[in-house]
């Protein structure tokens, strides 16, 4: 009986040590420091620049994929009559650059009234759910035009600050008329500067690498 009891104690000890080793191994695995949400504007106002949007998107994921999971978002037409362009998640948290690129290649332009601020809110909520303790970054490639969002910019900026989410924007505003361009530029600049990000506004034929260098995405 003593022998059996000793064997039982030995087995229990071995199982306990194994469990501790597995727990320690899992805990030792480094967690990604950053989590990225990439918004590629696919609304009708971007039609003439959509190839540029896709090219910039691929250049961005080339930088972000090695730093942490990247999720891709764009817009989808919803409703009848005068539909709205609503934010939609296309790929959730991937660091596989090939898959990220294939997702970008599968995007296309859809009509509808842009809900730009709602889209930033949508991405913010997802990043907060997925990676509350990581460095969270939203990268936007858009003309910054917003038509029917329910989200207010002041409230959104406050929430982004509280969640420590930085916004980086590539503003392709050159096809907008003067009034809309001024408003969109101000919105994109404010979102970025208030959250600790950066906004760039390429002119003429867009040099993707130059724009990305100016954007200066965080390295950690």
**For residue 87, how far is the Cα from the chain centroid?**
12
Longest dimension (CA), the chain: 91
Q: Is the pTM of this model over 0.75?
A: yes
> Is there a contact between 75 and 85 (Cβ–Cβ < 8 Å)?
yes
Distance CA 52, CA 208 (A): 8
Residue 42: other Cβ atoms inside 10 A = 25
Distance CA 144, CA 190 (A): 11
Measured at the CA of 107, the angle between CA 42 and CA 198, to 5 degrees, comes to 55
Domain 33-215 grouped into CATH 3.40.50.410: yes
- Reading the chain (220 residues) residue by residue, the pLDDT tens digits are 445 555 544 554 444 444 444 444 434 445 557 999 999 999 999 999 999 999 999 999 999 999 999 999 999 998 777 889 999 999 999 999 999 999 999 999 998 899 999 999 999 999 999 999 999 999 999 999 999 999 999 999 999 999 999 999 999 999 999 999 999 999 999 999 999 999 999 998 999 999 999 999 987 6
104-129 per-position pLDDT tens digit: 999 999 988 999 999 999 999 999 99
């Amino acid at each position: 009986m003593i022998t059996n009891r000793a064997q039982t104690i030995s087995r229990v000890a071995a199982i306990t040590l194994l469990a501790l080793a597995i727990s320690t191994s899992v805990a030792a695995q480094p967690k990604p420091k950053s989590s990225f949400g990439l918004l590629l504007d696919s609304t009708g106002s971007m039609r003439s620049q959509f190839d540029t949007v896709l090219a910039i998107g691929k250049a961005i994921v080339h930088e972000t994929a090695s730093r942490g999971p990247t999720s891709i978002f764009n817009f989808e037409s919803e409703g009848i009559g005068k539909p709205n362009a609503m934010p939609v998640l296309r790929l959730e948290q991937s660091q596989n650059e090939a898959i990220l690129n294939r997702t970008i290649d599968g995007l296309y332009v859809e009509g509808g009234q842009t809900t730009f601020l709602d889209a930033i809110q949508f991405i913010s909520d997802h990043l907060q759910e997925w990676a509350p303790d990581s460095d969270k970054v939203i990268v936007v490639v858009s003309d910054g035009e917003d038509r029917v969002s329910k989200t207010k910019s002041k409230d959104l900026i406050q929430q982004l600050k509280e969640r420590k989410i930085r916004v980086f924007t590539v503003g392709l505003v050159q096809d907008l008329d003067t009034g809309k361009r001024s408003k969109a530029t101000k919105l994109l600049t404010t979102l970025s500067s208030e959250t600790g990000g950066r906004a760039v506004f390429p002119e003429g034929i867009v040099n993707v690498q130059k724009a990305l260098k100016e954007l200066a995405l965080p390295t950690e």
